[in-house]
Amino acid sequence: MNNANGGVEKKMSILQNLPDIIAAIGGLGTAAFGLVDATKPFAGGVNRIGFKRIAAAVKSLTPGAAAKGLTQDKILDTLRANWYNGKDVASQKAIAKSLIKVSLNAGNATALSTATGVDAGLLKTVAGKIASGAALQPNESDAYARFDFILTALLDEAYQHSDQAYTNGTRILAFVFSLLLAFFGGWSLKGGFIGDYLRSNDLGLALLVGFLATPLAPIAKDLSTALTTAVNTMQLVKK
């Protein structure tokens, strides 16, 4: 009977401490995401993830020297600054499209027609008329509208994939950080030579904590509160 009672008490103790354990693991995940953010001052750090695809798309849509001194490098610098500063994706796409349309000229119209599939002759005529302020003919307006629509689609594809790559990249990096933090945290508690730690059960427990940290980080507070409420409710019911 004593053993049975002791087992029940042990289980209750674990259940009572479980909310604190989850909160602590979630805190580790939050710390890992904080370390991911801390990489940003170093040449962009994690912000560099995803922009390569955007840069490639914009380069194909801004061939040659742009109009009015707006060079391809300046366009990319502007878009890079918006990406690194975390401006909302919709605004970034709108800015990118505006810069590409402003850079349209008779010199790069042929290359842009290849990238967008719009008739080269019409697009070149449109570029010339826009530069001079002349009115567009109906067929030229239709060609420019198609150019605008295809440009929107190309930029949307580039930004959506890049945004997903950034999200996945930050999660993976946070996961790596959480594993490292848990590994060294477990070692600091174990003490002694690292070889002894690597052969101990503490290593497995530390890695388990590191593995759970990032998924639990966003929900740790709510889950911990819910479990606390559940444990308190069961205690009242038993009484």
Other C-beta atoms lying within 10 Å of the C-beta of residue 68: 9
Do residues 134 and 86 lie in contact, with contact meaning Cβ atoms separated by under 8 Å? no
What tokens appear for 148 in the block?
A: 């605008």
Rounded average pLDDT over 140-156: 95
Residue entry with tokens 């850079």: 103
Percent of the chain with pLDDT over 90: 54
Res 88: pLDDT: 92
Q: In what helix (H) or strand (E) does residue 223 lie, and over which residues does it extend?
A: helix 220-238
Do residues 109 and 99 lie in contact, with contact meaning Cβ atoms separated by under 8 Å? no
Q: DSSP letters along 149-183, please?
A: HHHHHHHHHHHHHHHHHHHHHHHHHHHHHHHHHHH
Do residues 15 and 230 lie in contact, with contact meaning Cβ atoms separated by under 8 Å? no
What tokens appear for 111 in the block?
A: 């290359």
- Judged against a pLDDT cut of 90, whether residue 123 lies above it is answered with yes
Q: Please state, in angstroms and rounded to a whole number, the distance separating the CA atoms of residues 114 and 120.
A: 8
- Judged against a pLDDT cut of 60, whether residue 4 lies above it is answered with no
Most confident of 91-95, 187-191, 211-215: 91-95
Q: What is the pLDDT of residues 31-79, one digit of tens each?
A: 999 999 999 888 889 999 999 999 999 999 988 755 566 888 999 999 9
- The closest of 145, 114, 152, 144 to 127, measured between CA atoms, is 144
Q: How many contiguous H segments (helices) and E segments (strands) does the chain have?
A: 10, 0
Average pLDDT, the chain: 86
- The closest of 15, 32, 39 to 209, measured between CA atoms, is 32
- Judged against a pLDDT cut of 50, whether residue 1 lies above it is answered with no
Res 65: pLDDT: 57
Res 107: pLDDT: 85
Do residues 102 and 70 lie in contact, with contact meaning Cβ atoms separated by under 8 Å? yes
Res 226: pLDDT: 75
What tokens appear for 126 in the block?
A: 């449109």
Rounded average pLDDT over 166-177: 94
Q: Please state, in angstroms and rounded to a whole number, the distance separating the CA atoms of residues 51 and 43.
A: 13
